[in-house]
A and B are shown apart, each in its own frame.
Chain A
Amino acid sequence: MKTLLEVKNLTVNLDGEKVLENLSFSVSEEEILTILGPNGAGKSVLLKTLLGLLPYEGEILWHRKPKIGYLPQGLNQLSVKNYPLTVADFFALKNPAPSLEEITKFLLLVGLEKDILDKTAGNLSSGQFQRMLVAWVLISHPQIIFFDEPTTGIDIGGGETIYSLLNTIWKKEKLTMLLVTHDLSIVYKHSTNVLCLTRKRHSCYGAPKEILNTKILEQVFGTEIKIYEHK
Chain B
Amino acid sequence: MMPYQLILTLISGVFIGGIAGYLGTLMLSKKMSVVAGPLAHLAFPGVALALIFGFNISLGVFPFVLLGAILIWLLEGRTKLPLENLAAIIFAIGVGTALLFLPIGKAEEALVGSIDKISLGETALVISLSLLVSFVVGRLYQKMMLMNVNEDLAITEGVKVHKYNLLYLLSIAVVIGLGVYLVGGLITAALVAIPAATAKNISKNLPSYKILATFFGIVSAVLGIFIARFVHLPTGPMVVVSSAVLFLISVILMRKTI
Contact = CB atoms under 8 A, between A and B. Distances in A.
Contact of B148 (A68, A82, A92, A95): A82
Interface residues of B, number: 26
A79 B203 contact: no
A1 interface: no
Contacts of B206: 83-86, 89, 92
A65 to B, nearest CB: 13
Contacts of A109: none
Contacts of A68: 156
- Contact-residue size bin, chain A (C-beta under 8 Å from the other chain): 20 to 34
B150 A84 contact: no
A93 interface: yes
Contacts of A79: 29, 148-150
Given A70-B156, A84-B200, A93 B145 contact: yes
A84 B203 contact: yes
A83 B205 contact: no
B149 to A, nearest CB: 5
Given A84-B204, A89-B205, A95 B142 contact: yes
Nearest to B202: A84
A84 B25 CA distance: 10
B153 A75 contact: yes
B215 interface: no
A57 interface: no
Q: Tell me which of A83, A85, A92, A94 has the highest count of chain B C-beta atoms within 10 A of its own C-beta.
A: A83
B157 A83 contact: no
Interface in A82-119: 82-86, 88-90, 92-95, 97, 118
B157 A88 contact: no
A72 B153 contact: yes
A97 B207 CA distance: 15
Contacts of A82: 28-30, 148
Contact of B142 (A69, A72, A97): A97
B108 interface: no
Contacts of A201: none
Interface string B141-172: 01101101110110111110000000000000
A85 B203 CA distance: 9
Contacts of A169: none
B142 A93 contact: yes
Interface in A39-80: 48, 51, 53, 68-70, 72, 75, 79-80
A190 to B, nearest CB: 23
Interface in B196-211: 200, 203-209
A93 B149 contact: yes
A93 B151 CA distance: 13
B153 A70 contact: yes
A83 B153 contact: no
B204 A86 contact: yes
B209 A84 contact: yes
B143 to A, nearest CB: 7
Interface string B177-201: 0000000000000000000000010
Given A79-B148, A79-B150, A86 B156 contact: no
A85 to B, nearest CB: 6
A95 B205 contact: no
A95 B154 CA distance: 10
A75 to B, nearest CB: 5
A95 B150 contact: no
B228 to A, nearest CB: 31
Given A84-B204, A85-B205, A92-B142, A48 B149 contact: no
Interface of B: 25, 28-30, 142-143, 145-146, 148-150, 152-153, 155-159, 200, 203-209
Given A82-B30, A83-B206, A95-B159, 9 more contacts: A51-B156, A79-B149, A83-B25, A83-B145, A83-B149, A84-B200, A84-B208, A85-B149, A93-B157
**Which A-B residue pairs are the 7 nearest by beta carbons?**
A89-B206, A70-B156, A93-B146, A72-B152, A86-B205, A84-B209, A84-B203
Interface of A: 48, 51, 53, 68-70, 72, 75, 79-80, 82-86, 88-90, 92-95, 97, 118, 120
28 contacts: A48-B152, A51-B152, A53-B152, A53-B155, A70-B153, A72-B153, A75-B150, A79-B149, A79-B150, A83-B28, A83-B29, A83-B145, A83-B206, A84-B200, A84-B204, A84-B208, A84-B209, A85-B149, A86-B206, A88-B205, A89-B205, A89-B207, A93-B143, A93-B149, A95-B142, A95-B143, A118-B205, A120-B204
